[in-house]
Structures are given as C-alpha cells and as structure tokens.
Structure 1
Amino acid sequence: MRAIVLALLTIPAVAAQRCETPDDALALHAAALQQEMMVAAFQCADIAAYNDFVLAHRPALQQADRALMAYFERTASAPFDAYNLYKTELANASSLRFSTDRAFCARMRADFRTAATLSSLDQILAEAPYTVDTGSVICPWTPRAVPAEPVAPPKKRIRHRTWLGRLVDWLF
C-alpha cells in the first residue's frame, strides 16, 4: 500500500494549461472546430461539406495549426507530446459528443452551412465557438472583433463519384 502511495506521489501532476493570448485561443479553438467537423464528416456522412470547409479556409487552418504547435513549444516541456495529447483529447471528446448527442449531426450541418457563408476562421468561431476544456488545456473563448462579410462558396465543388453521391449533388 505504501509503495502505491509513494508511486502516485512521485508521478508529476499534469496541470491544465491555459491559453495566454487571443492568438493562442484562436489556435486552440480552430483545432477544436476542425476536429468536430472531421468527426461529423465521417460519422454524419458530411465529407463533401468538410472538404469544402478545409479547402475554403486552408491557409487560416494551416496558420492556426502552426500557432497551436508554437503555443505548445512555448508552454510545454514536451511540445510534440502535448500537441498530440491535445489533438487526441479533442478527437475523443468529439466522438463522445457524437455518440451521446442526438442532435450532433443536425448541429454540425448547420455549422457547415455557417462556415460556407463566412470568409474568415475568426468569423466562423464567433458564430460556432467550440469549447476547449480537454483536461490538458482549458481556454475560454472570447471572439475577436471581426467585420461580418459574407463570402461566396468555393468555386469548384468536390463531386462524388458514386451513383448515390451524384444523386445527392444533383438534388442539392
């Protein structure tokens, strides 16, 4: 019994990191948004909507991912491990929400539609904020002030190659 208590006392405690700047918050929340949409793409059969989202916002998503890694490089003793832990926690939380929330797919379809009408990642996150409280990272969201300007959907839409996908594309 004493050996177990001693072992538990010697394991370093993992304290939840907090975001420090608005850029940190944007990076952490952008990762949460993208992970939630990725789960929706597979679980709710919204792959085309997810691909449209990623293609329309690729530069901002890549910049946010670089900022996310920079955040962990600045705040964690093992940045790559902390980055991977955070992404894994997001994936697990999104999958759990899918399995327990009956309205998950409907909510995500609405978020995909919202994302298709907005031009920046800041605007999307202001409309559809995602909670970041994964256990290893806690980050409340305060949207930055961004001008509301709609953007046209991507010019080239990804089309399905199956007969069912072509029917869906034709209907919508």
Structure 2
Amino acid sequence: MKKIEKKIVLLLKVILLQALWYAAVYYADLYQYSLLVISFVFVILNFILFLKKTDAKTYFLSLLFFILFGVYETMIASQLSLIDYKMDGFPLWLMSLYIVFICYYGDVFNYLKDKNVILLSLLGAIGGAGAFYGGVKISPIEVKDQFYYALIALNWAIFFPVSIKLFYKFYKI
C-alpha cells in the first residue's frame, strides 16, 4: 500500500474508533452489552487487518492490562464516591472504551514509542482527563466530586507511559 493510502486508512481507523467512543459514551446505559461485544470485534479485526504480523501474545496481554486498569480505575472512583454511574452493577460500557483503546497501539501511537516518559505522562494526564470530562458531558455519569478529574489525570499520567513503553518493548512487526 502506498504511503498516502496508509495515511488515509489510518485516518479512517481513528475516525471509526472515535465514533465508537462517542457511541459508547452517549448510549452507555442503553446498549452496554452490545458495545462490549462490538469492542471485542474491533480488537480482533484490528489485529487481523492491521497487526497480523505482530506477536498475538503481546497484543492480547496488553489488552488484558488495559482491561485490568479500566476495572481498577472504575472501581476506585466508585468506592471513593467520586462518581455515580447511574446504573445498577458494573458499567460494562466503560470497559468497552478501555478494550478498544488497544487499537491505537501498533500504528496510530507508533510515533510516541521513543518519546520521553514525562511527555507521555503529560499527554496521558491531559488526554485522559479531557476524554473523561468530555464523556461526562454526554453520558449518564454524574461526577460527585471534582477530585475525580485529578484522579483520572494521575492514573492516566501513569498508565499511558507505562502502556506505551511496555507495548513497544515487546511489539514486533
């Protein structure tokens, strides 16, 4: 595939992933099981279509790390009463966001693999808190304490550089 075609495909992939993010957040309480299934389908298709030459173990262990981080972050915010997800049970729709996040690794985030950890931490803090802030505005979530955003920023300041460094340490083309 030519360089320009690769960039167009990559742009379409990012647009599709952002559309999934929006759908997951906006329709959170209505279609959470469907969103979870769609997210796993995206992950598998991403591996087959874009990363088929990579190590499946690295990809799926990274996915497990993302899911565990998502469960931790969701549970800690709930336990500290910083947020109300406005639903009974665990917000599975939120897990769909962590699941599909792996689709950015291996191509979209390639340019970040050699960046300084401090820069990655800043990107994680700002991007993570910003995504959650925007998501809260269109989802059924109610933030009970503004400390929630600080917690998200701190968590993503740690998670993002760790996820980038670990993924690309073992990532092979």
User: What TM-score does the superposition give when structure 2 sets the normalisation length?
Assistant: 0.32
Computing the radius of gyration over CA atoms, which structure comes out larger, 1 or 2? 1
Flag the structure with higher helix content: 2
> TM-score normalised to the size of structure 1?
0.32
